[in-house]
Amino acid sequence: MNKQDILNKLKYVIYPNFKRDIVDFGFVKNVEIDGENVEISLEIPSNNPEVAKKIHSEILQILGDKTKIHIKTPQLENETKKSKNIAPNIKNFVMISSGKGGVGKSTTSVNLAIALAQMGKKVGLLDADIYGPNIPRMLSLTAQKPLVDESVMKLIPLKAYGIKVISMGMMYEEGQSLIWRGPMIMRAIEQMLSDVLWGDLDMLIIDMPPGTGDAQLTLAQSVPVSAGISVTTPQLVALDDSARSLDMFNRLNIPIAGIIENMSGFICPKCGEHYDIFGKGTAIELANTNKCDVLAQVPIEGKIREGGDEGKPIVFFEPNSAGAKEYIKAAHKLNDFLEKAKGKASNAEIQPIKH
Ligand SMILES: Nc1ncnc2c1ncn2[C@@H]1O[C@H](COP(=O)(O)OP(=O)(O)O)[C@@H](O)[C@H]1O
Ligand SMILES: [Mg+2]
């Protein structure tokens, strides 16, 4: 067996929880062959021991149990913090995820970003939902295309309601359908981070495609993600998917800021009565199991949907509505979470001075 034969075999090892194999992801760093002995070195982005164990046992199954395997993982929190950052002017990257589409991920991203900007933060919003980029519509930006700064050959983000915005939807014509393959997704995500003139930002809110896939992994490998937020609706079926997205944060070493429970009850605009359409409060249990917070419980509100369709986000246009208040609450909690994480990081730097 030569090196290529071995790499071909390793292509059968799928990276746990993702759809691609360890060779395709570039995790196989070295293959040594010395007669009968084979030695494989890998580097993976997760320090979850289960992930390494699964890869280890699958390689043994494929290449025989005499194979020597070294798996390097990002052991220390500091090491991951220091990891690659292709957009170094951005202080915090916040990944907004959901197990499935249609739960209100984009609505949340838009309103959270605006609420943070209203708190005086420098905020960017990256619509990385390659399959359904609808942030431009939600911000009335469909007619605009970002210009290119010729001197540096970078895209200038659009501005709306105090935030800078770039969307995959601005990169290709409306109605044009693309079939996204792994390497294309990686390139697109990288470009939206490094080929855009974001300037100095306190935070970049990133609206991810639903589920756990190449986009999430690429993002985690390209920048140090400081917080993950999972958006869910209270039905139990949606919670199952959310559990998977929280699990993904853990596997990628992304600190979990919390869960946003969307469509959490309906307040009748006529009688003011509260109706529990999908159930309410089920996210709390999920938060407890994952040792994180429920950042907000956003009710179903006509104004939220209208605001989305008309490009008039509720936090900006109806700041006193029940929904807007929840988004504003979530923005404060997220900011506290990031501040605390920063505090921890700077403490970690101070600690080594021991006498
Ligand atoms: N709390 C809510 N109340 C009313 N409509 C909502 C609410 N949250 C989301 N919507 C509407 O539901 C639809 C899906 O939301 P969206 O944010 O696009 O979901 P996702 O990005 O997860 O696919 C949109 O039409 C949006 O306006
Ligand atoms: Mg969306």
Q: Is the CB of 298 under 6 A from ligand 1?
A: yes
pLDDT of residue 175: 59
Look at residue 77 and tell me whether its pLDDT is greater than 60. Answer: no
Tell how far the Cα of 68 is from the centroid of ligand 1, in angstroms: 50
Give the number of whichever ligand sits closest to the CA of residue 130. 2
Instruction: Give the atom of ligand 1 at the shortest distance from the alpha carbon of 100.
Output: 22
Q: Lowest mean pLDDT of 71-80, 188-197, 219-228, name the range.
A: 71-80
Q: Is the CB of 134 under 6 A from ligand 1?
A: yes
Q: Lowest mean pLDDT of 51-55, 92-96, 150-154, name the range.
A: 150-154
Beta strands in the chain (DSSP E): 28-34, 37-43, 68-72, 90-97, 123-127, 148-149, 154-155, 158-160, 163-167, 201-207, 225-232, 256-267, 274-275, 293-300
Q: Is the CB of 103 under 6 A from ligand 1?
A: yes
Look at residue 74 and tell me whether its pLDDT is greater than 90. Answer: no
Instruction: Give the atom of ligand 1 at the shortest distance from the alpha carbon of 306.
Output: 27
Q: Is the CB of 263 under 6 A from ligand 1?
A: yes
Look at residue 38 and tell me whether its pLDDT is greater than 70. Answer: yes
Give the number of whichever ligand sits closest to the CA of residue 324. 1
Look at residue 141 and tell me whether its pLDDT is greater than 80. Answer: yes
pLDDT (tens digit, 9 = 90+) per residue, 274-320? 788 777 778 998 999 999 999 999 999 999 999 999 999 999 999 99
pLDDT of residue 323: 95
Tell how far the Cα of 158 is from the centroid of ligand 2, in angstroms: 18
pLDDT of residue 177: 63
Look at residue 9 and tell me whether its pLDDT is greater than 90. Answer: yes
Q: Which helix (H) or strand (E) holds 221?
A: helix 214-222
Q: Is the CB of 333 under 6 A from ligand 1?
A: no
pLDDT of residue 79: 42
Tell how far the Cα of 38 is from the centroid of ligand 2, in angstroms: 46
Q: Which residue's C-alpha comes closest to atom 26 of ligand 1? A: 305
Tell how far the Cα of 247 is from the centroid of ligand 1, in angstroms: 23
pLDDT of residue 227: 97
Q: Lowest mean pLDDT of 64-78, 126-140, 153-167, 320-334, name the range.
A: 64-78
Q: Lowest mean pLDDT of 80-94, 147-161, 205-219, 336-350, name the range.
A: 336-350
Q: What percent of the chain has pLDDT over 70?
A: 92
Look at residue 80 and tell me whether its pLDDT is greater than 60. Answer: no
Look at residue 160 and tell me whether its pLDDT is greater than 70. Answer: yes
Q: How confident is the model at residue 76 (pLDDT cuts 50, 70, 90)?
A: low
* C-alpha triplet 203, 208, 214: angle, nearest 5°: 120
Look at residue 98 and tell me whether its pLDDT is greater than 70. Answer: yes
Those residues whose C-beta lies under 8 Å from the C-beta of residue 109, and which sit 6 or more positions away, are: 96, 125, 127, 135, 205, 206, 207
| CA distance linking residue 333 with residue 227, whole number of Å | 12
Higher pLDDT, 72 or 278: 72
Instruction: Give the atom of ligand 1 at the shortest distance from the alpha carbon of 129.
Output: 21
Q: How confident is the model at residue 198 (pLDDT cuts 50, 70, 90)?
A: very high
Q: What percent of the chain has pLDDT over 90?
A: 57
Helix (H, G, I), strand (E, B) or coil at 134: coil
| CA distance linking residue 191 with residue 6, whole number of Å | 32
Residue 299 near residue 250 (C-beta atoms within 8 A): no
Look at residue 346 and tell me whether its pLDDT is greater than 50. Answer: yes
Residue 229 near residue 94 (C-beta atoms within 8 A): yes
Tell how far the Cα of 24 is from the centroid of ligand 2, in angstroms: 28
pLDDT of residue 342: 81
pLDDT of residue 78: 45
Best mutation site among 98, 107, 314 for ligand 1, i.e. most ligand atoms within 8 A of its Cβ? 107
Look at residue 180 and tell me whether its pLDDT is greater than 80. Answer: no
Lookup: tokens for 87 = 């957009």
Sheet with strand 28-34: strands edge to edge = 28-34, 37-43, 68-72
Q: Tell whether pTM > 0.75.
A: yes
What is the residue-averaged pLDDT of the chain? 88
pLDDT of residue 75: 62
Instruction: Give the atom of ligand 1 at the shortest distance from the alpha carbon of 309.
Output: 27
Q: Is the CB of 241 under 6 A from ligand 1?
A: no
Q: Which residues pair with 127 in a beta bridge?
A: 167, 207
Q: Is the CB of 301 under 6 A from ligand 1?
A: yes
Best mutation site among 233, 305, 309, 317 for ligand 1, i.e. most ligand atoms within 8 A of its Cβ? 305
Mean per-residue pLDDT, 192-209? 95
